[in-house]
Structure 1
Amino acid sequence: MATRRGFIGSASGISTAALLGYSASPSAADTPLANSTGTPATSAVTQQQAKESIFAVNAGMRSNYATLKAELVKHLSPVIVVQNDAKGGRFTLVTANGQESVNPVAETFELAKSIAHVPLGCFSVIASYLADKIPNLPNADRIDPHDLLLVAFNDDKSTAWIDPLQAYAVTLTTARKNLPAAGLPAALTTSCGNILDAALKFINASVTAKVFDMKSFEDFSGSVYPDIRVNMEHAAQAQIKGVQDTMKTWRAKVGETAWADLYCVVLSQWTTSVLNQNTIIIKDCMNAAKVATHLIDLPGLETPKDPIFTALDNLARIVQDNIAAEMVFPKDTKVADALKGKEDLLSDEILIQLGGSAATTQTSPTYNTLSEGMCPVRK
């Protein structure tokens, strides 16, 4: 993550100067420092060497910081790491005795969401062939013309969308044929059937006419919205039950004393990081007094190669910053809060220099926002 809390690589076995790419030897262009009279100083230290010695101070801090963090990772317990995925989430419990992972959510979750995604699947095929002018739609004022132009990058007179849309129709037809044998609840079977039928009707009409528009697509997607809501209801029920049952099992295993200090790190993509579904469920299973600081949403762009390490590495950074904040800034709790939270320590000063004082920053609500979106460093 490209933030103040971004990854600081391990510096073991690397000199502080080499860590940041600074040369230990002066170049021929280095200029000796001048004294107050303007003549070169007698010292052999060049200006560049002086700068590098100052840079090395921060490099030494980074090296020491990384060493502490790497050791702290080994002592984090208990921790639950949640990887959001198509199955409702993979949960890993980390304790001093090791790790165990489960996918606690029943298949109903993934099955219901799979069919609910059908309109989006159709849209993804035809979107680039849309006309780049907004038609008279009920929600026309909510569509950004520039964004539409970016998405509708293909010729709207082209019929290149027909083959991929027909290929998707084959997949939908197979699912529709096999739907009764899936053993889904009756209401979910009905809603899934309605969505598939409507999608196939839209595809067949569009292919036959060799044309479509935003209006025809919205007529289709709007018609199946009640059925999508039914699918969402079944998916949510499956996820809540699966997650709550797993949390109860692990709570009994860990014990009440340790559970009171439980950290939960939820890895998610940025687009689902606010009011993330697993975060909402988990918060009610934790110590209410510590949810604000111990339930951590960690959004990213893509799933990391090693999710568990990524979660623990970032958690170690947060934990040690929590302690460092109070000890490095014992005389200014507002600055300490900035180090402990998501704010950059320079944010307040930058706001002031740009022509204002520290002000409220509008942010989306999360369960672990320490300062409710307020810059904590105020004059």
Structure 2
Amino acid sequence: MATRRGFIGSATGIGATALLGSAASPSFADVPPPEAGGAAEAVSQQTARSSMLAVNAGMRSNYATLKAELIKHLSPVVVVQNDAKGGRFTLVTKDGQESANPVSETFELAKSIAHVPLGIFSVIASYLADKIPNLPNANRIDPHDLVMVAFNDDKSTAWIPPLQAYATRLATARRQLASAGLPPALATSCGNILTAGLKFISTSVAAKTFDMASFEAFSGSVYPDIRVNMEHASQAQIKGVQDIMKTWRTKVGEAAWADLYCVVLSQWTTSVLNQNTIILKDCMNAAKVATHLIDLPGLETPADPVFTALDNLARIVQDNVAAEMVFPKDTKVADALKGQQDLLSDEILNQLGKGTALLAAPSYNTVASGVCPVPH
């Protein structure tokens, strides 16, 4: 997540309130220095240290005040909350906000059935034997990870009831599939996945056993059908996102659109090459994608996704300006303040003898930095 960390905590623009023109406290120059040769104020060490820490507390307060006010002036911004429907998009302008789920239901339907193998795995995983059998991909499975996942007794049959309950859902979807109005190719692939899933469950329940080899045989057999579902889901998402972005571009106007920020909230597991980030890249001003297309991976969906996005964006925007003014003599450190690095990272690496990792320029996501690595 593109937020500041380390010794600056949740605030980075040192003196940012004064730097950017907000009402400020008297400057250091206004405070008379101690008389030459005068004795230092006699206080305890703890009191002295507390007064030092109070300086940073004041910075944090000033920084938070600036950020809260800056949020009101962020425009235009598109906030994307990734969800099961392909993403909820919100356009933020000086005139207000509007939201939409622009991706057609085909996206969600195709992904729902493609998730069948994962749904079955989630039931049986904890009952797997914790020894890796002789499988083609055996060397790609971490033995310790398997031990932690396979935490139940592999001789137990407690997996049967929940697997049968899941089979009931698969069977209902299979019976009613013809009435879903899907494109022929998608209907066929969905039918194949559901049928194969039901067969695996039926065979495993009858035998009261399963293993990694039998599950991988099932999941491997439906992989071509899963690829078909992925193709239809991707087509639906690309069209939906591109259509809403074209609509909003017309509404906002070319001049304002050139400065558009896009903030994509996602889970960590999908934050690199996130599907919406890839699509949005081509809908923005190419010259600003590297700094204006921002991925914010998190652990859970925030209670107020739009506010969370704007709060983080305000932090980024004010740091972009503060960086150049706080560190006018060191552009590398300024770039670190603008980007995702901790300002202490370079010094720590030097002290550990590991060289430097300072970025030449800020970049908030991996997709925007170059050509899309996904083959087309």
Q: Give TM-score, length-normalised by structure 1.
A: 0.86
Aligned to 1:11: none
**Structure 1 CA distance, aligned partners of 2:364 and 2:93?**
32
Counting only pairs closer than 5 Å after superposition, residues 126-165 of structure 1 correspond to structure 2 as: 126-165=124-163
Of 229, 254, 257, the match for 1:256: 254
| Pick aligned residue for 2:241 from 240, 243, 266 | 243
| Structure 1: stretches of 5+ with no match in the other structure | 9-40, 371-379
| Rounded Cα–Cα distance in structure 2 between residues aligned with 1:217 and 1:87 | 28
Tell me the SS of whatever aligns to 2:215: helix
The change in CA–CA distance for 1:299 and 1:94 in structure 2 (over 3 A counts) is: same
Shift in Å, 1:354? 1.1
C-alpha distance 368-256 of structure 1, shift in aligned 2 (>3 A): same
Which residue in 2 is equivalent to 1:277?
275
Say if 1:76 and 1:186 are closer, same or farther in 2 by CA, change over 3 A: same
Cα 1:254–1:289, aligned 2, differ >3 Å: closer, same or farther? Answer: same
d(CA) in 1 for partners of 2:364 and 2:199? Answer: 39
Query: Is contact 1:297-1:368 (8 Å) kept?
Result: no
| 1:87–1:109 CA contact under 8 A, matched in 2 | yes
Q: Specify whether residues 325 and 3 from structure 1 end up closer, same or farther in structure 2 by C-alpha distance, changes over 3 A only.
A: closer
2:229 to 228, 231, 236: 231
Secondary structure of the residue that 1:80 maps to in structure 2? strand
Q: Deviations over 1:184-204 (max 9, x none)?
A: 000000000000000000000
Task: Indicate whether 1:123 and 2:133 are aligned.
Answer: no
Q: How far, CA to CA, are the matches of 1:365 and 1:62 in structure 2? A: 26
Contact 1:90/1:104 (<8 A) preserved: yes
Conserved? CA contact 2:2–2:339, under 8 Å = no
Q: 1:249 to 1:364 in 2, by over 3 A?
A: closer
* Contact 1:129–1:156, Cα closer than 8 Å, also in 2: yes
Conserved in 2, the CA contact under 8 Å of 1:274 and 1:364?
no
CA shift, 1:356, in A, is 2.7
Cα distance in 1 between the residues matched to 2:292 and 2:246 = 18
**Post-superposition shift, 1:47?**
1.0
Structure 2 spans left out of the alignment, 5+ residues: 12-38, 371-376
- The residue type equivalent to 1:199 in the other structure is G
- 1:205 pairs, out of 203, 206, 213, with 203
Tell me the amino acid that sits aligned with residue 118 of structure 1: V
Is 1:337 equivalent to 2:343 in the alignment? no
Amino acid at match of 2:304: D
Aligned to 1:177: 175
CA distance in 2, matches of 1:42, 1:297: 49
AA of the residue aligned to 2:329: K
Q: Match of 1:280, as an amino acid?
A: I
In 2: Cα distance, 1:249 partner to 1:102 partner:
12
Matched-pair identity in %: 82
Contact 2:345–2:357 (CA<8 Å) still a contact in 1? Answer: no
Asked if structure 1 preserves the Cα contact closer than 8 Å seen for 2:116 and 2:197, the reply is yes
Higher relative contact order structure (alpha carbons within 8 Å, sequence separation ≥ 6) = 2
Partners of 1:242 and 1:176 in 2: how far apart?
A: 27
The offset of 1:4, in angstroms, is 2.4
Distance in 1, Cα, partners of 2:336 & 2:342: 7
SS in 1 for 2:74: coil
> How far apart, in 1, do the equivalents of 2:220 and 2:154 lie?
22
The alpha-carbon distance between structure 1 residues 185 and 66, as it changes in their structure 2 partners (threshold 3 A), is same
Cα-Cα RMSD: 1.9
User: C-alpha separation between the residues in 2 aligned to 1:53 and 1:42?
Assistant: 14
Partner amino acid, structure 1, of 2:284 = M
**Distance in 2 between the 1:178 and 1:100 partners?**
36
Query: How many equivalent pairs are there?
Result: 337
After superposition, the C-alpha distances for 1:352-373 in whole angstroms (9 at most, x for unaligned) are: 1112321489x99713569xxx
1:292 to 267, 290, 293: 290
